[in-house]
Amino acid sequence: MDQSLVVFSEVADTRNFSRAAERLHMTQPAVSQHIKVLEERLKVRLLERNNKSVALTKAGEIVLHHAKEIGGLYRRMEEMVDELMHYTGGPLSIGASYTFGEYVLPLTLASLNTEYPDIRPTVMIGNTSDIAEKVRNRELDVGIVEGEEIGTGLAVEKLAEDEMFVASGARHTLADRSPVSMAELEGQTWLVREQGSGTRAAADKMFSELGLHPSRLMEMSSTQSIKETVEAGLGVTLQSRWALRKELGLGSLKLLDIEGLPFRRGFHVLMRHGDLRTRTMDVFLQTLRTATGTMLSSQRDG
């Protein structure tokens, strides 16, 4: 709140410059200077002074009335900000790319609901570029995405490392081949995600690093559709091991033995630069790290 208004309100309340100065822990000349600055700013006299007391002018009465309202609003603002920073609850909008959102985030949400039932998360699943853009535009509070190409204007924090493998159907001709040659891989139909997806970016990077030039790519916008197509015997795909856990356990998909794999990429947390870190955001991030660490440990042990 404007310090001159605070000083004016105190003088008006005590009707005395000396007592106002004592209450404000200021010198009397400093109090007088604040009143002078306020009167000059408003271009009107606010106080009538005499030897014994101070009286408000009509303009002073108007200013005092609104100064009290402003003071009340300022205190309410401070209370609300304090509540925001220390209360654990309320809405939290989370964006996640497909791999993380469908296979890793559910454990985080379950833990969050158990420990902090007053937090009300909403989740949007999309590709990496879409999630980053929505965090940047304040449509989401936080995003968790895979890959490195995230763009500018965001605070990016590494969360975990993801291992990716090439998988085929259990009855595919390459399923029991060890190792699989580059020539054999180039001759396969590769099922890949759409451009803008972190998984697609990883596949393109792997092709480049291994010197692979696939003869045929088939794009799909759903990881689940890709897995089911590969299970049916059509082609191969590069996917996160997290996305393949269920099918590997059932034996319907197999990891191919390829030199240079697994391919590694990072999962990252995205937030806007300079945003307040609320208590709710802090406990979400703590729960996220714990749940992700638990899944990483179980993956290594498995």
Can you give the pLDDT at residue 49?
86
Can you give the pLDDT at residue 300?
60
pTM for this prediction: 0.73
- Residue (of 180, 168, 173, 134) closest to 153 by Cα position: 134
**Rounded Cα distance, 5 and 43, in Å:** 15
CB atoms within 10 A of CB 33: 14
pLDDT tens readout for residues 91-112 = 999 999 999 999 999 999 999 9
According to CATH, the superfamily of the domain at 162-264 is Periplasmic binding protein-like II (3.40.190.10)
- Contact present, 161 and 279 (Cβ < 8 Å): no
Q: Please say if the pLDDT value at position 302 is more than 60.
A: no
Q: Please say if the pLDDT value at position 10 is more than 70.
A: yes
- Residue (of 169, 175, 189, 294) closest to 244 by Cα position: 169
Residue bearing the bigger pLDDT, 51 or 169: 169
CATH fold of 3-71, please?
Arc Repressor Mutant, subunit A (1.10.10)
All structural domains of the chain with their residue ranges: 3-71, 75-160+266-300, 162-264
**Rounded Cα distance, 114 and 98, in Å:** 24
Which contiguous run of DSSP H or E holds residue 124?
A: strand 119-126
- Contact present, 86 and 279 (Cβ < 8 Å): yes
Which residues touch 92 (CB under 8 Å, ≥6 apart)? 119, 120, 121, 122, 141, 142, 280, 281, 284
Can you give the pLDDT at residue 52?
73
| Burial call 88-103: b when 16+ CB within 10 Å, e when fewer | beeebbbbbbbbbbbb
pLDDT band of residue 152 (cuts 50, 70, 90) is confident
The tally of CA atoms less than 13 A away on the side-chain side of residue 113 is: 9
The chain-wide mean pLDDT, for the chain, equals 92
C-alpha separations of 174 from 30, 104, 170, 235, 286 in Å = 86, 29, 9, 10, 42
The token pair that represents 260 in the structure block: 């240079």
Which residues touch 77 (CB under 8 Å, ≥6 apart)? none
- Residue (of 128, 92, 90, 132) closest to 272 by Cα position: 132
Which residues touch 61 (CB under 8 Å, ≥6 apart)? none
Q: Specify whether domain 75-160+266-300 bears CATH 3.40.190.10.
A: yes
| 75-160+266-300 against 162-264: fold identical | yes
Q: Give φ, ψ of 170 to 5 degrees.
A: -60, -25
Q: Residue type for 296, please? A: L
SS3 state of residue 4 = helix
Residue 196 per-residue DSSP state? T
CB atoms within 10 A of CB 299: 13
pLDDT tens readout for residues 196-255 = 888 999 999 999 999 999 989 999 999 999 999 999 999 999 999 999 999 999 999 999
| Burial (0-12, 13-18, 19+ Cβ within 10 Å), 30 | exposed
